[in-house]
Every structure is written in C-alpha cells, then in structure tokens.
Structure 1
Amino acid sequence: METWVALSIVAVVVVLTSAWRVLSWVWVRPKTLERRLREQGLTGNSYRLLFGDLKESSKMTSQAWSTPINFTNDIAPRVVPFFHQNVHNYGIYYSYF
C-alpha cells in the first residue's frame, strides 16, 4: 500500500513539473522576452499564444496576392505584406514577438 502512495506522489510531481515546463515554454518565456525587449525600446506586436500573428499574416498575404501587381520596383507590399506593414507601423527596428 505504501508503494502506491509513493508512486502517486512521484506521478503528481512529474505531471506538475511537465505542466510547468510547458507553461514556461508557451507563455512565461515569451512574455519575459517581450517585456525585456520593450524595456530596451523595441516595439512590435504583443505576444499571442501559440499561433501569434499567423492568421493576420495569412490574411494580409491573400489580400496582397488577390490584387493586381503594380509595375514598380517596390515589391515588398506584395511579397511580404505583414512585415512591410509592421516596418511601416513600428519602424525598421521592430520586434517580431
């Protein structure tokens, strides 16, 4: 009976440790990095859990590809519209969190 209690305690410790590692990897580290970069003066989009700006980026890309291409040398809005918009909003030294 005592071995079951010991095994249960070990299992709970393993589960809690694993949960903390995942939480740290997914939320704590990125938010800490974001805070430190903002303290240094870098701006950018806030961190979003797991997928980040993927939805917004793909929407902007599909919109850019659905319009006819302009006959200019400025291809950035067509090729990488999300990054082009962020550089326009935050300047050349923006951070992609």
Structure 2
Amino acid sequence: MEITIVFCVLGVAAIFLFYIWRISNRLWFKPKKIEKFLKDQGLKGTPYKFMYGDLKEMVQMMSEAKSKPMNLTHDIAFRVSPFFHKTLTTLGES
C-alpha cells in the first residue's frame, strides 16, 4: 500500500516536471535559441523580453507620436507606426 502511494506521488511529480519543462521551453528556451541563431547569421534586433516583448516601448512611442503635431507631408510612417519606423532606421532594412 505504501509503495503504491510513493509510485503515484513520483508519477504525478514526473508529469508535473514534464509540463513545467514544456512550458519553460516554449516561453523561454526556444525564443532565446532562435534569437541566438538569428544573431549568429548577422541579423540585428532587440533582445527577447519575456511575455510582453517590445509592447511597452511600442505603446510609449505611439503616445509620443500622437501628442506631437503632424507635418503636412506624405511622410507619415513615423506617425502611423513609430516603433517599426525607428527599428528600420536604426537596424536597416536587411
């Protein structure tokens, strides 16, 4: 009786650890591996940030862009999507 309880507890712990590993692999290890792979190929970019990524910076840049008056030109990329405009100007289009 006591041995079956021990095996049940070990089985539940193993299943729990398996799912913890799968979740951490999907949310942390795989994105970091892809980031390293792309960096080794020479592609520049922002580092991986857990869960939210660049969302905070995107929202801040969007609110700053909307608070400034807009020029009367056809160049509206910095106003429509300031984060992507900044990324393309700093990191390049390749």
Q: Report TM bin, short chain.
A: over 0.9
Spell out, residue by residue over 1:31-84, the C-alpha distance to the aligned partner (whole angstroms, 9 max, x if none): 000011111111010101111111011000010011111111111100000010
Higher RCO, Cα 8 Å, sep 6+: 1
CA distance, structure 1, for counterparts of residue 62 and residue 4 of structure 2: 58
Structure 2 residue 31 is the aligned partner of structure 1 residue 30 = yes
Summarize the alignment of residues 39-54 of structure 1 with structure 2, pairs less than 5 Å apart.
Answer: 39-54=40-55
TM-score, normalising length: structure 2 = 0.94
Structure 2 residue 2 is the aligned partner of structure 1 residue 20 = no
CA distance, structure 1, for counterparts of residue 53 and residue 12 of structure 2: 33
Equivalent in the alignment of 1:67: 68
Question: Aligned partner of 2:22: which letter?
Answer: R
The Cα RMSD (Å) is 0.8
CA distance, structure 1, for counterparts of residue 4 and residue 52 of structure 2: 42
TM-score, normalising length: structure 1 = 0.92
Ranges in structure 2 where 5+ consecutive residues have no aligned partner: none
Equivalent in the alignment of 2:59: 58
Equivalent in the alignment of 2:7: 6
Give the CA deviation at 1:2. Answer: 2.1
CA distance, structure 2, for counterparts of residue 55 and residue 38 of structure 1: 23
Structure with higher Rg: it is 2
Percentage of identical aligned residues: 40
